[in-house]
Amino acid sequence: MKFDQPATTNPIDQLKVIGQPLDRIDGPMKTTGTARYAYERHDVARNAAYGHVVGAAIAKGRIVSMDLRAARAAPGVLAIVTARNAGKLAKGKMNTAKLLGGPRIDHHHQAVAVVVARSFEQARAAAELVQVRYATAPGAFDLSAARDGAPMAKANENSGPTHTAVGDFAGAFAKAPVQLDTTYTTPDQSHAMMEPHATLAAWEGEKLTVWTSNQMIDWGAGDLARTLNMKKENVRLISPFIGGGFGGKLFLRADAVLAALGARAAGVPVKVALQRPLIFNNTTHRPATIQRLRIGCEQDGRITAIGHESWSGDLPDGQPETAVNQTRLLYAGANRMTAMRLAVLDLPEGNAMRAPGEAPGLMALEMAIDEMAERLGMDPVQFRVVNDTQVDPEKPSRRFSQRQLVQCLRTGAERFGWAQRNPQPGQQREGRWLIGTGVAAALRNNLLQKSGARVKLEPGGRVTVETDMTDIGTGSYTIIAQTAAEMMGVTVQQVAVRLGDSSYPTSAGSGGQWGANNSTSGVYAACVKLREQVARQLGMDPAQAEFADGQVTAGGRSVPLADAAGSAGLVAEDAIEYGDLDKQYQQSTFGAHFVEVAVDAATGEIRVRRMLAVCAAGRILNPKSARSQVIGTMTMGVGAALMEELALDKRRGYFVNHDLAGYEVPVHADIPHQDVIFLDETDPISSPMKAKGVGELGLCGVAAAIANAVHHATGIRVRDYPVTLDKLLDRLPPVA
């Protein structure tokens, strides 16, 4: 189905099932432990062997020698795979470094071997016996040291333009009566998902099946085939349940490659789960940024010049953290400039994590907006409202398909009680606590990708949906079932959903908050085709047929849907493909975050006390699961603001706190009551579902709102995340 015209009225608009806050249909499996995750697939490969990965002990250099004799002689060992005996391997299209290193080492904990043994304990013990001698080479690990020599990043399909200019930014900024020129930093961060990167691999002749934890099935299958120099049709990738990904499982990683190589070498199925330190240093992470914001304003608060420059680092041929992209769209201003520079650093690969680009970019931009509002003596909400725009500021001829940012800000301000706020920082106390409130705007773009599905009308009238779409804990099973139920006129209980298998039609996959809108649109397209088949089978005009309550009605006749299935059933397959509406209209989601914090006047301890998110993100397909996504990402925002930071050893080039004990993330005790409001919105420009993504929008801006609240509580502006008490202690106001 080609979607190249705005959506008109269609069966989804009935909202009998879509838009309802239904419980997740996979919930019973999750809560009873019957949901099958990759490492637990004892049903498909009994008595599988175990692989344990050996990671490089240096960040850059070469392997001089590798002594495997003791490891090979260890009890239970079946095989040891290294770059020397693995055969010719290619590099995945979406990998920056090779997933099996040697003799060259590209980064710390790059996999250099996998030891396969009968038990996990035997594999781990034997891996400790692998003796590797290295020749270390000098490396670059410090972004601040590499900043001045970092060139402009190269544009690619993910980053978009890496330098933009509209009007005369330098001239307008120099003339502006009110100016801000400030630098902010964000640290390296880890996804820290609960489920590790894990794979079970089994060979049958030349055909390989992997049960793995991966967000993007088609990408993963393609890159695994490419890495192993196989035909893609000989690789089957299965991932029906994923215990968290957050971007860390978008791409093929070492667990899948080494499980496949280990299984081939040992002649038995092999399972590999990356050790937690390797998840931090071997897989991807969010790279640190240095961001310079320059804003020039008239005395009335109108922005006349806005410039945002960002520096980040990655391995050779890597890509930048796209931290400036939201600044191209969020506020008006005739004179504009953005630039992204990329330093070559010999650190583990930097890549997508939890709203890449906008999440770290808004950590800087929305603090800068607050700082400018303070210089102007304006209310921070009003300053944002004054600089709203209904057109793309870089391309004024292109309107936003929907933009309710002002409504988000005003609705949130009213609900949060913003009018009662004392604008002067450091003025409100409750005993030993300094109280402050903060606000930030949110933006996350609506990304469109082709997405397919297969829908079957089974004998008896049940409906089955098959698509390689994944569920990373976000509710894909449920909203896909809701879509099929709405389209076919049945209940959710009459729909079976099968996900995460590369033998199913290729979907958009999970990432970038594009999954829900695109995957359900693909199911919509397949259901349209199935409805046409059903109508013709029943001798009805497809254009007139209505599907409701298990019946198909047209021309005065009403027939049970099951009658069309017969004894063999009916099958339809289609995909949603997009025209150029996204080029005609700027498609984005918007929100506003409000936060109240308390800061201990003596110790600088920060407690988040209230949080509110107001979101405008198209049609909300399931308010219950959408709210769960948003409060989850609001929680991630607390982590980004107050605690998450990979501690980098700048001498040896690795992340020191590479486990869940040292890498601090929020726990229940850190999180207060959270409110979420979804504005009533449909976006017919986006898709036939009239929906857009919402999950990552709930993260964008949260950290800045918290940092702004800390400033309001204490009068202290911390521009280097995370905002920790040591950055407040020597500047706290005197204790009475």
At 358, list the tokens.
């906008």
Tokens matching residue 149:
């020599």
Contact 100, 258 (CB under 8 A): yes
**Residue 545 near residue 552, CB atoms below 8 Å:** yes
CA gyration radius, the chain: 27
Residue with tokens 């004990």: 661
What span, in angstroms and rounded, lies between the C-alpha atoms of 729 and 714? 11
d(CA 668, CA 672): 8
CA distances from 7 to 391, 637, 685 (A): 21, 34, 7
Sheet holding 551-554, edge to edge: 546-548, 551-554, 557-560
Nearest C-alpha neighbor of 721 from the set 700, 709, 707? 707
CA distances from 471 to 25, 246, 326, 455, 521 (A): 12, 12, 27, 18, 16
Q: Report d(CA 120, CA 115) in Å as an integer.
A: 10
**Contact in structure between 312 and 350 (CB atoms under 8 Å):** yes
Contact, 16 vs 488, CB < 8 A? no
In whole angstroms, what is the distance from residue 490 CA to residue 95 CA? 43
Q: How many CA atoms lie within 13 A of 147 on its CB side?
A: 13
Asked if residue 582 lies in contact with residue 686, where contact means CB atoms within 8 angstroms, the answer is: no
Residue 394 φ/ψ, nearest 5 degrees: -85, -25
Show the tokens assigned to 17. Answer: 């099932």
Reading the block at residue 562, the tokens are 């099951």
- In angstroms, the CA 182 to CA 15 distance is 48
Q: Are 242 and 470 in contact (CB under 8 A)?
A: yes
Q: State the Cα angle at 520 between 514 and 524, rounded to 5°.
A: 140
Task: List Cβ neighbours of 607 (8 Å cut-off, separation of 6 or more).
Answer: 433, 597, 598, 599, 600, 672
Helix, strand, or coil (residue 211) = strand
Partners of 619 in the β-ladder = 691
186, 473, 514 from 511: Cα distances, Å: 22, 12, 6
Q: Show Cβ contacts of residue 140 under 8 Å, excluding neighbours closer than 6 positions.
A: 146, 313, 343, 344, 345, 346
Mark whether 696 is an active-site residue: yes
In the chain the first and final C-alpha atoms are separated, in Å, by 69
CA 165 – CA 309 distance, rounded (Å): 12
Task: Supply 488's token pair.
Answer: 């076919």
Q: Which DSSP state fits 691?
A: B
Tokens matching residue 224:
């695994």
Other residues' Cβ atoms within 10 Å of the Cβ of residue 650: 14
Token representation of residue 517 = 């809108």
Quote the tokens at residue 609.
Answer: 């006390």
Whether 277 and 216 have beta carbons less than 8 Å apart is answered as no
Of the candidates 374, 306, 408, 277, the one whose C-alpha atom is nearest the C-alpha of residue 698 is 408
Catalytic residue positions?
A: 696
